[in-house]
Amino acid sequence: MDLRYTDAEQAFRGELRSWLETTLPGLPPKPSPHDWPGRRAYDTHWQRLLSDAGYAGIDWPVEGGGRGSSPVEELIFKEELERARAPYVGVNFVGLLHAGPTIIAEGTSEQRRRFLAPILQGDEVWCQGFSEPDAGSDLASMRTRGVRAGDDYVVTGSKIWTSHAEVADYCELLVRTGADDSRHRGISWLILPMDTPGVEIRPLTTIAGSTEFAELFLDEVRVPVANRVGEENDGWRVTMVTLSFERGTAFVGDLLEAIELLSSAVTLAQRTGAWSDPGVRRQAGHLRAELDALWALTKRNVSQAARTGIPGVGGTFFKLAYSETRQKLGEFSLALLGRAGLAADDIEGLDGEGPLPAETMVEDWLRGISLTIAAGTSQIQRNIVGERILGLPKEPVATTGAAREPARQRT
């Protein structure tokens, strides 16, 4: 167990830090969270800057056009970006963390040539069309149909909770190509151009008041067979393969952001006088212990991935623990705001110390609620820990004849 960084790792950090110092001041102002075209432009511009400097796809293999860095360098990369308050991956999330890695692993050489570079350079944005109104946790029950017609699949059905759909160029789409009850054995993974006729997007408003995700209606949408990644009916496995790219660093930025948020909560408590309440101080102390432990767990997970090349079980532990700690932090901040938390506006404090940070705290509290739902709910994560890690008996599945597929775990 060694927490010291090697000379090479330090050198990488130093070089990145100075690049960030010179680059960040030149960024345009951040767009409003409700301005989707503005967000797309901002996020993709940042991705282009990273790409030009050789920092795109830091965790992608070299064959895929990435930097092929070790998981430890990835960790440093994300840590430095957060420390410098650089922009987040934003709308490039699905392309960089999902679609790209999937195409690298399972795509044809033609597909790799066509799709990878535009993701790395911020030219094309992707979204994920997996969940359906009737298939969430039980993803393998999805019903959106893909019927082969010549060189196309004709796709009909609907998807839901598709993040960033409004600004996406492509969608990684799961469709049913096998029999109705084929479950995980009858799914195919398609690349859907979002401007194909028959694709209708209906934005959904989140509890945070933004249109972060959308419903997709697909009415006889023609997707070329050449856009299928992997074999027909093999889409479930193709989807799972992506997970092997996850090396424990997906939440590094979020975690460090949470540590910052705890500091601002403490500052707020000091301003309001709540800090003299031992109950408040102890809650803060507990949160600090939990966040520090999660940082240690991240390092453990990254070290494991660096040694073995595959993600260990620690990612599931992390997701469960982190989402709950983050929600506690949200509740803690909101309680500290008191009645200033009745609006997400930064109103001026009476102490002459400037505005009260209601905008960040209220929005963060609300966004935090999605953490135990998105990417596999906490209940599903507990099933995964219980069944796959501890070896407890599996959940019953209601379908007849269909073999039991691995529980869902995805981003």
Ligand X SMILES: Cc1cc2nc3c(=O)[nH]c(=O)nc-3n(C[C@H](O)[C@H](O)[C@H](O)COP(=O)(O)OP(=O)(O)OC[C@H]3O[C@@H](n4cnc5c(N)ncnc54)[C@H](O)[C@@H]3O)c2cc1C
Interacting residues with another protein (CB under 8 A): 1-6, 9, 72, 75, 79, 83, 256, 259-260, 262-263, 266-267, 270, 275, 278, 281-286, 288-297, 299-300, 302-304, 306-307, 314, 317, 320-321, 379, 381-383, 385-387, 389-395
105 is an interface residue for ligand X by CB under 6 A: no
Mark 351-370 with x for binding to ligand X (rule: CB under 6 A) and - for no binding: -------------------x
The least CB distance from residue 122 to another protein, in Å, is: 28
Report the C-alpha gap between 66 and 12 in whole angstroms.
Answer: 16
The least CB distance from residue 336 to another protein, in Å, is: 13
CA angle 167, 26, 265 (to 5 degrees): 75
Mark 160-189 with x for binding to ligand X (rule: CB under 6 A) and - for no binding: -xxx--------------------------
Q: Which residues contact 166 (CB under 8 A, 6 or more apart)?
A: 36, 201, 203, 211, 214
The closest alpha carbon to 409, from 189, 239, 226, belongs to 239
18 makes contact, choosing from another protein, ligand X, none, with CB < 5 to 8 Å by partner type, with none
134 makes contact, choosing from ligand X, another protein, none, with CB < 5 to 8 Å by partner type, with none
Among 12, 42, 130, 322, binds ligand X (CB under 6 A): 130
The least CB distance from residue 247 to another protein, in Å, is: 13
Judged by beta carbon, residue 35 or residue 395, the one nearer ligand X is 395
93 is an interface residue for ligand X by CB under 6 A: no
Q: Where are the beta strands (DSSP E) in 195-315?
A: 199-204, 213-224, 228-229
- Pick out residues in 279-318 that bind ligand X (CB under 6 A): none
136 makes contact, choosing from ligand X, another protein, none, with CB < 5 to 8 Å by partner type, with ligand X
Given a contact cutoff of 8 angstroms between Cβ atoms, the answer to whether 156 and 112 are in contact is no
Among 65, 87, 101, 136, binds ligand X (CB under 6 A): 136
374 is an interface residue for ligand X by CB under 6 A: yes
**Strand, helix or coil at 173?**
strand
Q: Which residues are catalytic?
A: 246
36 is an interface residue for ligand X by CB under 6 A: no
The least CB distance from residue 159 to ligand X, in Å, is: 6
277: its two tokens: 């309440």
Q: Indicate the pairing of strand 152-163 with strand 213-224.
A: antiparallel
Sequential DSSP letters for 32-93: PTT-HHHHHHHHHHHHHHHHHTT-TTTTS-GGGTS----HHHHHHHHHHHHHTTPPP-GGGH
Q: Give the end-to-end CA distance of the chain in Å, rounded to a whole number.
A: 29
**Would you say the C-alpha torsion 241, 243, 249, 252 has a positive or negative sign?**
positive
The least CB distance from residue 269 to ligand X, in Å, is: 29
Mark 193-222 with x for binding to ligand X (rule: CB under 6 A) and - for no binding: --------------------x---------
331: its two tokens: 């509740």
Given a contact cutoff of 8 angstroms between Cβ atoms, the answer to whether 96 and 89 are in contact is yes
Judged by beta carbon, residue 205 or residue 276, the one nearer ligand X is 205
373 is an interface residue for ligand X by CB under 6 A: yes
273 makes contact, choosing from ligand X, another protein, none, with CB < 5 to 8 Å by partner type, with none
390: its two tokens: 């501890």
**What's phi and psi for 402, nearest 5 deg?**
-80, 135
Report the C-alpha gap between 285 and 11 in whole angstroms.
Answer: 34
Judged by beta carbon, residue 15 or residue 363, the one nearer ligand X is 363
> Would you tell me which residues interact with ligand X (CB under 6 A)?
128-131, 136-137, 161-163, 213, 370, 373-377, 379-380, 383, 395
